[in-house]
Structure 1
Amino acid sequence: MKISPLAGKPAPLALLVDVPKLVSAYYTNTPDPEFPEQRVAFGTSGHRGCSFEHSFNEAHVLAITQAICAYRSKQGINGPLFLGVDTHALSTPACASALEVLAANGVDVMLAQGDEYTPTPAVSHAILKYNRNRNRNRNRSSGLADGIVVTPSHNPPQDGGFKYNPPNGGAADTDVTGWIETAANQHLRSALKDVKRMPLERALRLATTHRYDYLSTYVNELEQVIDMAAIRSAGIHLGVDPLGGAGVHYWQRIGERYRLNLSVVSEEVDPAFRFMTLDWDGRIRMDPSSSYAMQRLLGMRDRYDIAFACDTDHDRHGIVTKSAGLLPANHYLAVAIDYLFQQRPLWPQAAKVGKTVVSSQIIDRVCARLQRQLYEVPAGFKWFADGLNDGSLGFGGEESAGASFLRHDGAVWTSDKDGLAPALLAAEITARSGRDPGEIYRKLAAGLGDPVSTRVEASATPAQKKMLAALSPQQIQCSDLAGEKIQDILSQAPGNRAAIGGVKVVTASGWFAARPSGTEDIYKIYAESFLGEDHLQRIVQEAQAIVDAALAGSPQSPSGVST
């Protein structure tokens, strides 16, 4: 990736979004569904877009919400809907629009008490808590709750996002989002004529609109998943940067509730996110796994025994240690897995470790040492939801710093990503071992190997992207990669046999995966080597040649890799 000269620096005024204009565009710009970029399109975590670009406007939210109401009716889901919202500028108006439609459709809606912002894991936790032990009649969905989270996650301030969580508490699977997407776009094409809606003031007064204390409910049960007593007894000093996100008021409550030595760096909420330092590409992005975005907390790392941050909807974590600074996401996932499966004796003996196909192979080696089965799936945390629910997965994690794991007793905690619990787990690990996760990773790497990794991008036409997504292993015409024999070529994830939307090529000491971007005319190559930087660069170079050869029949060969 080409690093911007502004990366890691405070955002200049010229780059800050004009919030009033952004919100105005949400209401005044009307999307035209004849243009694909203006339609409803669910990615791995919901529909995202920008009101300036006609890709996230009131019409989108009204259409999606009506489609969700129809889906609930079709599936017999008639319990309450838990509605959460983050701190992006477009989230509050989108939440209001959604409530107008939900209320008009007679849905019982659970809004946050005191209009508190709502992290994604708090919504997942609420859905699962409500559904726990409920009797299921012949219609298995009857009486169960589901949810909506209004968030574009760590995306830039001008973006909006809308995500549906079915009764399993996780992000909706592709069959669900595909149905909702189709129905929503039909509403856009018919100028919303079949969308039911009522004024917000009336919706707020209805008996079907309820208040729910997400904050207390989530915080009060944290000790069921994290050893808070150990953290308290050790007296370690914790530093937290909420990055102006939905969990901004959760951290102080956590510190008070469990009497921790916890300092919140800032509780500032600013929809322009002017307090952030710019990410790698010179844009504001609340990504706690990016050292460029995490400059504020990194500058304070020596003040704390362990420090952490979460993204805007608090479903991703970033761990800062004295020994290593910002720990790469894959490094911390390996540490967390190694620790949890040795320190949670009540977990099911057959519980597997969930990872995505582009996560580090050091996780595979940790699993082999622990004698735990690996469950490898395509990108997207939704693939872990059912396994976390039934206890067949003890842990699910992805390379973008999203993870969740079971309670101490082996019951489900959240089935969507949870940034808070993995962050606090870093404190538990430090408290109980006397070493921070960075130090523990060095010991792991000394015994299992220390991989280096990268991600590069190359241009590709829409036709080429489609071809890449449909590549089969038989189209890869080579037997070696960077001097090693190819052991496997995958187009389906080994864990659930679901299509990965590209290919993964594996050798004894490295691998690469090539996948098309869902939003840009590029494809991405993820690569890793256990033999060092030179070997990694050979993998990257040969990976592009392999992909180019596989796409040779396309109208134009991709070119122009950027690192």
Structure 2
Amino acid sequence: MNERAGTPAAESDLVDVPALIEAYFEKQPDVSVPEQRVVFGTSGHRGSSLNTAFNEHHIAATTQAIVEYRAGQGITGPLFIGSDTHALSHPAQTTALKVLVGNDVRVLVDEFDDFVPTPSLSHAILKYNNSGAEEQADGIVVTPSHNPPADGGFKYNPPHGGPADSDATSWIANRANEIIANGMVDVQMAEPSAVETYDFRTNYVDDLATIINMDAIRESGIRIGADPLGGASVSYWQAIADKYNLNLTVVNPDVDPTWRFMTLDWDGKIRMDPSSSFAMASVLAHKDEYDILTGNDADADRHGIVTPDAGLMNPNHFLAVAIDYLYRNRSGWDQGAKIGKTLVSSSIIDRVADSLGRTLWEVPVGFKWFVPGLIDGSVGFGGEESAGASFLRLDGTVWTTDKDGILLCLLAAEILAVTGKTPSELYRELTEKFGDPVYERVDAAATKAQKAALGKLDGAAITATELAGDPIVAKLSTAPGNGAPVGGVKVVTENAWFAARPSGTEDVYKIYAESFRGAEHLKQVQAEAKLIVDAALGG
């Protein structure tokens, strides 16, 4: 924990934007250096131009690889492209446009040259592909999500509208690195003199009445504060307030690529994480001025919910409340629609699902796993512990197949408007029924070899029979919902669980743990989790 966590950013914390842009164009990556290669994580390729990890060659080569990938998949419709408010996003989108136009791809950009939230782009892809068009559309979102201001990000969304799966991203990354290694000779570029436009904002905002009870929110008159945290949702929130005549205030409409108005996150970095009380400290100062106060990250795929009685809600807590509310108030959903959660989300969701008589669908980390179920309506809600979720429209059809932070913030307002209780009050009621779990994620040191071994570890390799005094009832290396590898292990007892997964960026592995027996028991679970994992890894 940095001693300045939660305090306002100082001038010395701010990125040098001109230097960042200059490095984007001037520095050329050497893909023989691992840190300078194109690498797609769960949310695309990310890095800083200052470290030669996100530069013009990366984006040109990656876009060319996407062009070749979509051609190989028979994707011949338009490609929607949008970007967030990070300093590197605009130059990266410009580079991508040149490559797309140079390859004769029909590309659509925002009609008003506005920023485009991730959920708005997913919504646009699905709307086009559900319109009866013969050709399928796909898209690119230029965003590193909640990453610090010096970072850039580049993400591909195929025709299903959600994050691309690892088969696609591996092919694209490998081809991009090959293009860079070959001196960029395969990249075709042209100046985008006239590009088609699309009104992302109006299409998204006008459609919200098909998924949220906007009438209830308006009629209740509740005071809503929405803080975009300097991100892509800034003009969306004002448009929502105007369209639906809501008592909604955009708390901070400023956009600044240095994010000088932010408070520092836990590690002393500027990070637009709406689930962090440190990053949200300036927002929390307004909690008593509104009945519901919300925050979004830079591309608006994550949500933060603040209530007067509890402050910033733990994302797991809000997910549990959202699920309980939705499945009791969405009569248009299929009665068999499952509840989707990642396997590192709170087990109170399991108990809520059981009380609702609904099937829990537990999948590995990554929103991509929810995509098929959201498309066919077999999953009503898909949520991640990291404050990302989406759900079905009122009639049970698909809304987005990527995380939608704007949507979840509006749901918090609907919950208060309909029930008369804040989501935090409703969570306390859930804990009275199901217990009050304590949840935390910690890191443990690991070598690259140990991380590789953990990623492939079979639950059967764990010899322990007890965890913190309780018999172990499950040792999972594949997800119960879909049988997909979890990239680590999850160990479960009646009263607690832990999951261990290798970090993709640091020499640590992550231990997620939860106990229904309190904080001291959680510490015991965490300590024994490390011993169990280290023993399985031969450490």
The structure-2 alpha-carbon separation of the partners of 1:91 and 1:354, relative to structure 1 and needing over 3 Å to count, comes to same
Shift of 1:114: 1.6
Residues 510-556 of structure 1 show CA distances to partners (whole Å, capped at 9, x for unaligned) of 1000000001111110000000001100000000000111111xxxx
Q: How does 1:419-438 map onto structure 2 within 5 Å? A: 419-438=405-424
CA distance in 2, matches of 1:543, 1:462: 19
Match of 2:184 in 1: 192
Q: How does 1:64-103 map onto structure 2 within 5 Å? A: 64-103=62-101
Letter of the 1:490 partner, please give it. L
CA distance in 2, matches of 1:26, 1:135: 37
Residues 357-407 of structure 1 show CA distances to partners (whole Å, capped at 9, x for unaligned) of 100000111100001111111111011111101101100000000000000
Match of 1:147 in 2: 139
Letter of the 2:13 partner, please give it. L
CA distance in 2, matches of 1:264, 1:474: 52
Match of 1:9 in 2: 7
TM-score of the pair, normalised by structure 2: 0.99
Q: How does 1:294-309 map onto structure 2 within 5 Å? A: 294-309=280-295
After the TM superposition, which parts of structure 1 deviate over 4 Å for at least 4 consecutive aligned residues? none
CA distance in 1, matches of 2:202, 2:139: 18
Shift of 1:322: 1.0
Residues 141-187 of structure 1 show CA distances to partners (whole Å, capped at 9, x for unaligned) of xx100000000000000000000000000000111111111111111
Match of 2:440 in 1: 454
Match of 1:61 in 2: 59
Q: How does 1:163-562 map onto structure 2 within 5 Å? A: 163-199=155-191, 203-205=192-194, 209-552=195-538, 557=539
CA distance in 1, matches of 2:339, 2:503: 27
Shift of 1:301: 0.4
CA distance in 2, matches of 1:386, 1:191: 38
Shift of 1:204: 3.1
Equivalent position SS for 1:536: helix
Match of 2:111 in 1: 113
CA distance in 1, matches of 2:319, 2:82: 27
Match of 1:48 in 2: 46
Shift of 1:133: 4.5
Shift of 1:433: 0.5
Equivalent position SS for 2:533: helix
Equivalent position SS for 1:249: helix
Equivalent position SS for 1:454: strand
Residues 469-510 of structure 1 show CA distances to partners (whole Å, capped at 9, x for unaligned) of 011112111100000000000011111111111000000011
Equivalent position SS for 1:438: helix
CA distance in 1, matches of 2:390, 2:237: 18
CA distance in 1, matches of 2:448, 2:498: 22
Shift of 1:297: 1.4
CA distance in 1, matches of 2:45, 2:133: 32
CA distance in 1, matches of 2:94, 2:381: 35
Shift of 1:135: 6.0
Shift of 1:36: 1.1
Shift of 1:37: 1.2
Letter of the 1:396 partner, please give it. G
Letter of the 2:520 partner, please give it. D
CA distance in 1, matches of 2:271, 2:349: 27
Shift of 1:266: 1.1
Letter of the 1:174 partner, please give it. S
Match of 2:18 in 1: 20
Shift of 1:107: 0.6
TM-score of the pair, normalised by structure 1: 0.95
Letter of the 2:367 partner, please give it. F
Give the % identical residues.
59
Residues 14-34 of structure 1 show CA distances to partners (whole Å, capped at 9, x for unaligned) of 111000000100011111000
CA distance in 2, matches of 1:158, 1:464: 30
Equivalent position SS for 2:414: helix
CA distance in 1, matches of 2:173, 2:334: 37
Equivalent position SS for 1:114: coil
Equivalent position SS for 2:193: helix
CA distance in 2, matches of 1:345, 1:133: 25
Moved more, 468-477 or 165-174: 468-477
CA distance in 1, matches of 2:314, 2:379: 23
CA distance in 2, matches of 1:4, 1:533: 23
CA distance in 2, matches of 1:546, 1:412: 41
CA distance in 2, matches of 1:41, 1:376: 27
Match of 2:126 in 1: 128
Match of 1:560 in 2: none
CA distance in 2, matches of 1:395, 1:473: 28
Unpaired stretches in structure 2, ≥5 consecutive residues:
none
Letter of the 1:118 partner, please give it. V
Residues 220-244 of structure 1 show CA distances to partners (whole Å, capped at 9, x for unaligned) of 0101110000000000000110000
Shift of 1:134: 2.3
Letter of the 1:293 partner, please give it. A
Match of 1:561 in 2: none
Shift of 1:422: 0.6
Equivalent position SS for 1:115: coil
